[in-house]
Amino acid sequence: MEQRLTPQEARAALDTVDRNRLSVIQEIDLPRWYFWGLAIGWIVLGFIADLQIAWLTTAATFAFGAIHSSIAGYATSGRHRTDRLSVRADVAGHQIAWIVIAALVGLALLTIGLALALAADGAGHPTTIASVLVALLILLGGPQLLAWRRRRAARASGL
């Protein structure tokens, strides 16, 4: 025989489901080491570019791209922010990977633009300076961008 729930019990059960859904949405993010690794790699690549050794810059660019692409599938899925929980792919969605790709293209263009402006102004090591500025943007803006995405996902699910 079925036991009937009171309206208060039903509301409490729905509130529990909503809290659990929100806690899962809060887990959709990139691991902190990803931002630090990207920022450090960005600075190193900028420093190497300032050495003006074409073959070394080319090799470093390929190495940076290869290393990033080897970890990007795992890190940018949004499913593994911490070891506490691995979010299902259909819950995390594919938006985070696209956001990261768009951000990387934008950051590369910003680095180039800043480096060209700094070089035109006569600054020494313009690419390194531009890379440090962009690395700061990665460290400060990356988590904020994903926090915005989580808030949007929470609103979309009615929480």
Can you tell me whether residue 76 is helix, strand or coil? coil
What digits encode the pLDDT tens for the residues 57-103? Answer: 999 999 998 998 888 777 665 555 555 555 555 555 567 777 778 88
Q: What DSSP designation does 148 have?
A: H
Can you tell me whether residue 98 is helix, strand or coil? helix
Other beta carbons within 10 Å of 116: 13
Q: Is the pLDDT of residue 47 over 80?
A: yes
Helices within 51-125 (DSSP H only): 54-75, 89-92, 95-120
Q: In the predicted model, what is the mean pLDDT of the chain?
A: 80
Cα separation, 126 vs 155, in Å, equals 42
Which is nearest to 129 in space by CA: 62, 52, 50? 50
Q: What's this model's pTM, rounded to 2 decimal places?
A: 0.71
